[in-house]
Chain A
Amino acid sequence: MDVLAILIDWAPYLLTGVLVTLGLVLSALGLGVVMGLPMALGQVYGSRPLRWIVGIYVWFFRGLPILVLLFLFYFGIFPGLGLGDVPAFVVGAVVLGLRGAAYQSQIFRGAIQSIGEGQMIAARSLGMSRLTAIRSIILPQSVRIALPGWSNEYPNILTDSAVCYAIGVAELLTRASQIVSQTHVTMPIYIATAGVFILLNYGGIRILHRLEKRIAIPGFGSGAV
């Protein structure tokens, strides 16, 4: 049978995988920010035990292979908590997010620490509380400084999301291998899938760069962290 015809036939099925893959990536990035930012603040401004807990979290989630984390949560922790029926997609998104938080917290931490002490002193001298100073002076600056480093997380999470194949999430790679076993057309399918990943990868990076430019402040935070 004509390979091109098969490719076209199965394209909708494969491309639906793009939505699943992007779903994984975006929830991981989102969870990464929501958890990573407070973790970074905790590590910089928190009490000793808090810093310690965050440190161990980061060490653990950055030190384990993504495959082992997926197995641990999918086969072990989720069923252990009585959540065995949770779809693999959710487990994948949660694991990528927990891991993303570990990496992203360190990007945010570096950004916060790069802001001069003078900013905090000036804010306090105006009568701001510590919390207000963090919220309205430190964070707006550090988020901008962190953005280039944070953008770099996108391709990492995207390529890691393919490992969710191992727990059967119906993302791009899983669908590709399903198509291969159905059609016995091998290389064209895999290469097309690689092409889709490459497009998502560099397309996403381009969008993030545009975002960086939009929120940039002239003369500030041009140095990547």
Chain B
Amino acid sequence: MDQITFLTEILLPALMSGLVVTLQLIAVSAPFGLLLGIGVAVGRQYGGGILSPVCKVFVYLIKGTPLLLLLIILYFGLPSVGITFSAFTASVIGFILCNGAYNSEYIRGAILSIKDGQMVAAQALGMTRLQAIRNIILPQALIRAIPGLSNEFIYLIKYSSLAYMLTVIELSGAGKLVATKYFAYTETFMVVGLVYLALVTITTVAVNLLEKHVSVPGMIRGETSAMQL
């Protein structure tokens, strides 16, 4: 079989179905990861004596543990205590926890960078603390956190590949199966890599467009604007 046939007849169709799974993993994880990040950041900043330390410990533990170990615990560990998830669900839960923990750090940093006057002025208008957080503090924090949050989104794209270690046949897994069957490792993983590069590059372009779209004059972006792909 020549290279072209291998590529068009076998590899690309297999990768296509893997790509669909990868996109599903990302599409489910990212929104909840963002929500979790917001919740944890707000909880840590405004949660008071109990919630705040809980959020802090959560971030500490998740950031300290390798994502792959977290995934293995969720899929291979928890059944031993009677909790069973499908491989896909376990992966998504792991991604949400990890993505949420890192997102919360960026959002919290952005909240800390907002001057006290914003909260004071909101309260002087009769807003409750919760209203002020939701309408004044969070919108500003999220705009400032966009560079960091998009970094995390790009990490999510790449680390979604770890779902394969839980037997989810996503993009990397689909590549691995083809590579093993046809003994074509270098070509296959180069192509798989190119697909990830395409995803990452498209996302980067999209993020730049988004930043322009939501840009508010004079709102300084978070310090962490060095895009770490």
Contact = CB atoms under 8 A, between A and B. Distances in A.
Q: Determine direct contact between A and B, CB below 8 Å.
A: yes
Interface in A66-97: 66-69, 71-72, 75-77, 79-80
A69 B159 CA distance: 12
Task: State the majority secondary structure of interface residues on B.
Answer: helix
Chain B interface residue bracket vs A: 35 or more
A225 B226 CA distance: 8
A63 B196 contact: yes
Interface stretch (B46-54, B88-96, B161-169): B161-169
Given A72-B186, A180-B76, 6 more contacts: A60-B193, A64-B158, A64-B196, A67-B172, A190-B77, A224-B223
A98 B203 CA distance: 23
Nearest to A77: B186
A110 B226 CA distance: 8
B77 A59 contact: no
A65 B80 contact: no
Interface of A: 59-60, 62-69, 71-72, 75-77, 79-80, 103, 106, 110, 155, 158-163, 165-166, 173, 176-177, 180, 186-187, 190-191, 193-194, 197-198, 201-202, 224-225
B69 A194 contact: yes
Contacts of A75: 179, 185, 189
Given A71-B185, A197-B64, A198-B65, A65 B172 contact: yes
B113 interface: no
Contacts of A177: 72, 76
A103 B172 CA distance: 22
Contacts of A166: 165
B132 interface: no
A106 B66 contact: no
Contacts of A194: 61, 64-65, 69-70, 73
Given A63-B200, A63-B201, A68-B192, A103 B69 contact: no
A80 B228 contact: no
Interface string B160-198: 111011000000100110010000011111101100110
A160 B68 CA distance: 8
A64 B175 contact: no
Interface of B: 60-61, 63-70, 72-73, 76-81, 158-162, 164-165, 172, 175-176, 179, 185-190, 192-193, 196-197, 200-201, 223, 226, 228-229
Contact of B68 (A79, A165, A186): A165
Contacts of B179: 71, 75-76
B229 A68 contact: no
A67 B161 contact: yes
A68 B64 contact: no
17 contacts: A60-B193, A60-B197, A62-B228, A65-B160, A67-B165, A76-B185, A158-B66, A162-B66, A165-B165, A173-B68, A186-B76, A194-B65, A194-B69, A194-B73, A197-B65, A202-B64, A224-B223
B190 A72 contact: yes
Contacts of B165: 67, 165-166
A72 B189 contact: yes
Given A59-B229, A198-B61, A187 B189 contact: no
Contacts of A64: 158, 193, 196-197
B162 A62 contact: no
A193 B68 CA distance: 12
